[in-house]
Chains A and B, each alone.
Chain A
Amino acid sequence: MDLHDLTAAYALDALDADETEAYERHLGQCEECREQLAELNDTAASLAFGAVAPAPPPRLRAAILEQAGAERSNVVPLHRRRWVVRGLALGAAAAACVVVGLAVALSRSNHEQFVSVGLTRGANGNATLTVTGLDAAPQGKTYEAWVIPKGQAPRPAGLFPGGRTATVHLHGVPQKGAVIAVTVERAGGAPAPTSTPLVTTQT
């Protein structure tokens, strides 16, 4: 696969998940592709204006603003976020591993990085976890989301590769008071968290 050839398809969101991951890794090393992508992205986005645009229902605006207001407190600067969630046993080795990943992530950017996590309740009663600000998981690793009901053990809630914005569709809707956490795990996921959560949020 010649990754240079994938810029247009990437700009059009026409790559599958594996190709996207490979291309994003390549982007970090290829200035030519970054420049080309910046151009093609703007052009691809202008296609959005070619669609017939009926007015969205007014409730959509209200729902977005309400959710945004509720989430303000969940946005935590990466270098200041808390590492420990009460109730999770942590392995020291695993924690050290995560700290290394964090340092790498920070050194890649001059900008303050934010990791945030939001829970959206969809129209049909399902729940979606959106995690933004995490770099793609390292080779052989995956991010795993957990729902931790009050006073109970963490339950696996889905795997995702990270990168840009990750969306995880949870099974069922977490009860009020549950904590949602994200950890790095070996590819394929783990039945229980083995590393310190990168980010947590209370529902």
Chain B
Amino acid sequence: MARQLAHLSDEALVLLAARSEESALAELYDRYGRTAYGLALRVVRDPGLAEDAVQEAFLAVWRNAARFVPEQGRASAWILTLVHRRAVDAVRREQRRRADSLERAPEPSVEGVEEDAWLRFQRERVQAALRHLPDAQREALELAYYGGFSQSELAERLGQPLGTIKSRMFGGLSRLRELLGEPGTEVTWTSTT
């Protein structure tokens, strides 16, 4: 089927999904499903669990679309946050991972992965920004976001005080935000009280 909704913004698609428009969910999946799967796979390191995480997340988008508030951030960030949360939940449930040391399994190789040009550009941009961070900040962000480790686990495993881990994560994210050059001063959380 042609992508008849391809001209709509992500936010407009979420609004349509809130009205039970299935083609809007399909379009959102076509835009972010691959990134979502790559993210989930990176975190859980298991194709079956990654599929489950992506499925649960997109169904959460479907069920929760009416609650999405554009002022709280981009729709893509909302979707990928849902995916990430489920992937982290899955990896924390996997007790066997607890036995692993911080020695990370090798990153999935880009060899043999056919990427479209836009995804490759995005990936290289984020990876370049990460390389610009001080090592300690990059390590904290990567282990937390891609590794699914909690701040307490990181403090213990890296042998650092919790406060140090917190400031590395905060400093790293703030710097990354500058590096990615995101506009966002106008992005504010709408108070609902």
Q: How many residues of A contact B (CB 8 A)?
A: 69
- Chain A residues near B (Cβ < 8 Å): 5-9, 11-16, 19, 28, 31, 34-35, 37-57, 60-61, 63-65, 67-69, 71-72, 75, 108-114, 116, 118, 120, 122-124, 128, 130, 132-133, 164-165, 167, 169
Band of interface residues on B: 35 or more
Q: How far is the CB of B98 from chain A (nearest CB, A)?
A: 13
Cα A67 to Cα B51 in complex, Å, equals 14
Smallest Cβ-Cβ distance to A114: which chain B residue:
B66
Given contacts A71-B63, A130-B56, contact A51 B166 (CB under 8 A): no
0/1 interface trace, chain B 118-142, chain A, CB 8 Å (1 if under): 0100110111001000000000010
Contacting residue for A71 out of B59, B174, B177, B193, CB 8 A: B59
B25 touches A65 (CB 8 A): yes
Contacts of A111 in B (CB 8 A): 66-67, 69, 192
Decide: A9 near B166, CB < 8 A? Known: A55-B34, A68-B25, A128-B56. Answer: yes
Q: Is B184 a contact of A14 with CB atoms below 8 Å? A: no
Cβ of B81 within 8 Å of any chain A Cβ, yes or no, is yes
Interface pair B25/A75, CB less than 8 Å apart? no
Q: Is B159 an interface residue (CB 8 A)?
A: no
Given A7-B170, A54-B108: A123 touches B59 (CB 8 Å cut-off) = no
Contact with A along B146-189 (1 / 0, CB 8 A): 10111110100000000100100110111011001010100111
B14 at the interface (CB under 8 A from A): no
Chain B contacts of A54 at CB under 8 A? 37-38, 41, 108, 113
Q: Pick the contact of A133 from B30, B64, B187 — CB < 8 Å?
A: B64
Residue in A14, A19, A28, A37 with the greatest tally of chain B CB atoms within 10 Å: A14
| Chain B residue contacts of A42, Cβ below 8 A | 73-74, 77, 177, 182, 184, 187
Question: How far does the alpha carbon of A55 sit from the alpha carbon of B37 in the complex, in Å?
Answer: 8
Tell me the complex Cα distance, A19–B166, Å: 13
